[in-house]
Amino acid sequence: EYEDTGLLLQPQLEGQDYGAAAADGTQCPSVSVSRNSSAKRDCLVVAVLCFGNLINFIDWFIVPGILLEIQKYFGLSDGETGLLQTVFTLCYMLAAPIFGYLGDRYNRKIILGAGIFFWSGVTLGSSFITESHYRIFVLSRGLVGIGSASYSTIAPTIIADLFEEGKRTTVLSIFYIFIPVGSGCGYILAAGMAESTGDWHWALRVTPCMGGLGLLLLILLVPHRIQRKTAAHRALSISGTIQGADEKSDVHRTAKTTWCQDVGSLVQNCSFVCSSLGLTAMAFVTGSLGVWMPLFLYRAQVVQGIVPPCLQESCNSSNSLIFGGITIGTGILGIIAGAEAARRLRKINNKADPLICATSMFISALCLYIALMVAQTNILSTFIFIAFGELFLSVNWAVVTDILLYVVTPRRQSTAIALQILVSHLLGDAGSPYLIGVISNTIQARNIPSLQWSFQSMQYSFVICAFIGVLGGGFFLLTSFFIEEDREEAQR
């Protein structure tokens, strides 16, 4: 299919001449120059999108990186503290379908730019909120989530337009590496700024500057119109029939389907539904770990007598720094390993992608369970098993997105990504931080207040993440039964 998925096709100025040259068995020098220029432009576009993804996920995890200080500043319980990330994620997921609809129909560059400008401005404004305005701070996190939704929904589909399937997994892997890198940098930046300035508010004033730079690069380096590149499109251009392809593209552009029709088609796509539920389990686990793990490690260290209880405004931020470093390292290694495993195993098994995701989820769940069980006696072992748990979770990021991109027809990809974001966050990390906090509060309320029960309440509530991880592995395993048929259907 030759459709622009929301963007107008670029005019083929040299289409007829190139076809004639190919027919003679010769190649016009200008074509080689054009290809080199196009490749450089594509690399610049990907670099800009990766930088934007970095900023996006730094903003996601700025608040978890200074959660202990925020909890003390506003005087929050565990449940109220978890509500911050829950509101962020709820707004993020509710905005995603709207941006998916817009991304399939309107100029994506404008939508991306507006999103970066909006979330950067709100983040900067939230750094000036005082302790008596907790509700406004919660609202600001929700607004940041809306801005982030525009980026996470649309940016991957631009990469899908720029690269054919063979290269797309590699480029998506590079793009998704910036999820754990950005997340880890969020912890490190937040903890570093809070420690160096003595005021956690300064952590929220760095990323808006980065957002301004990202917006400028987007305006200067990303073109307004991007042509979808497929092997069929290249073959047509070589045979000199690109004009016919463009005419076919015009037919597809006029044959728009409604949003309800798109959703109805996606719901019938078993591979899309099952892989989205698997991603939902991933989101539940990563959302809980991302918000609560530094605080959980702090409480474990207090129980072991490694660190004293934090009774002052500026608390020890070493756990956020270490957890941020683990997130970056395991994220990069996991995504690269996942992409490479998928690339190799696809050659011998058409079901390799969902099987890789299922296996990694099962191993991750086991590692996280062991980490929780040894936390009270051996903090070093806890860090090691948390690292392995995050490593195997990170294996799935690029692979899950690639599954979506080849089991869903191109004209529905933005909508599919938006729906996947909606479902995975609605049932995943939208509620998991708040749920963990509420369970922790309930356990503490039923026991005598103490440092021991403060730790154990978080430990017991965290166990649910291991079971959800196993459930996610089951959904990915189920995906493997449908993926071949759905992939062929999408290609037709």
Distance CA 339, CA 336 (A): 5
Residues 221 and 344 in one domain: no
Identify whether 9 is part of a domain: no
The amino acid sitting at 371 is A
| Alpha-carbon span 161 to 156, nearest angstrom | 9
Q: What is the pTM of this model?
A: 0.72
Where is the domain boundary, 176, 205, 226?
226
Distance separating alpha carbons of residues 281 and 286, to the nearest angstrom: 9
Single out the residue of 53, 70, 52 nearest to residue 141, CA to CA: 70
Per DSSP, helices labelled H in 12-77 are 15-23, 29-65, 67-74
| 314 and 190 part of one domain | no
> Is 234 part of a structural domain of the chain?
no
Better pLDDT: 234 or 188? 188
| Count of C-beta atoms within a 10 Å radius of residue 205 | 15
* 259 close to 105: Cβ distance less than 8 angstroms: no
User: Is 241 within the bounds of a domain?
Assistant: no
Do 278 and 206 lie in one domain? The reply is: no
315: phi > 0 → left, psi -120 to 50 → alpha, else beta; which? beta
Model pLDDT, residue 280: 94
Domain final residue pick, 181, 201, 226: 226
- 119-133: pLDDT as tens digits: 899 999 988 888 888
> Are residue 283 and residue 204 in the same domain, yes or no?
no
**What single letter denotes the amino acid at residue 252?**
H
CATH at residue 162: 1.20.1250.20
Task: Answer with the residue of higher pLDDT: 304 or 36.
Answer: 304
Q: Are 397 and 337 in contact (CB under 8 A)?
A: no
Q: What is the DSSP string of 89-114?
A: HHHHHHHHHHHHHHHTTS-HHHHHHH
Same domain, yes or no: 164 and 275: no
Q: Are residues 317 and 380 in the same domain?
A: yes
Burial class (CB in 10 A: 0-12, 13-18, 19+), 12: middle
pLDDT for the residue 30: 52
Q: Which of 226, 248, 280 is the last residue of a domain?
A: 226
State mean pLDDT over 457-486. Answer: 93
The answer on 472 and 411 residing in a single domain is yes
Whether 12 shows a pLDDT value over 70: the answer reads no
Query: Are 319 and 187 within one domain?
Result: no
- The percent of residues in the chain predicted with pLDDT above 70, rounded, is 84
Residue 308: what pLDDT? 78
Question: CA torsion 144→146→148→153, rounded to 10°?
Answer: 170
The residue segments making up the domain with residue 113 are 38-226
Average of per-residue pLDDT across 448-457: 84
Q: Are 477 and 358 in contact (CB under 8 A)?
A: yes
User: What is d(CA 426, CA 321) in angstroms, rounded to the nearest whole number?
Assistant: 29
103 with 200, same domain? Answer: yes
End-to-end CA distance of the chain: 9
127 domain-assigned: yes
Angle (CA) 334 336 338, round 5°: 65
CA angle, 486 then 491 then 492, to 5°: 95
Overall residue count recorded for the chain in this entry:
492
* pLDDT 10s digits, 47-106: 999 999 999 999 888 888 888 888 888 888 888 888 888 888 888 888 888 887 887 777
Over residues 434-450, mean pLDDT = 86
Top pLDDT among 234 and 137 is at 137
Same domain for 192 and 76? yes
| 3-class secondary-structure state, position 199 | coil
18 domain-assigned: no
- Domain shared by 457 and 384, yes or no: yes
pLDDT at 311: 65
Residue 388 pLDDT > 90, yes or no?
A: yes
Residue 468's pLDDT is 95
Question: Does residue 4 form part of some domain?
Answer: no
Assess whether 219 and 282 both reside in one domain.
no
**Nearest in space to 135 (alpha carbons), one of 143, 208, 65:** 143
pLDDT band at 265 (very low <50, low <70, confident <90, very high): confident
- Residue closest to 11 by CA, chosen among 255, 249, 254: 249
In a domain, 238, yes or no: no
For the chain, how many structural domains are there in total?
2
For the residues 7-16, what does the mean pLDDT come to? 36
Query: What pLDDT band is residue 229 in, cutting at 50, 70 and 90?
Result: low
Contacts of 144 (CB under 8 A, 6+ apart): 59, 88, 119, 122, 123, 126
Count of beta carbons in the 10 Å neighbourhood of residue 379: 18
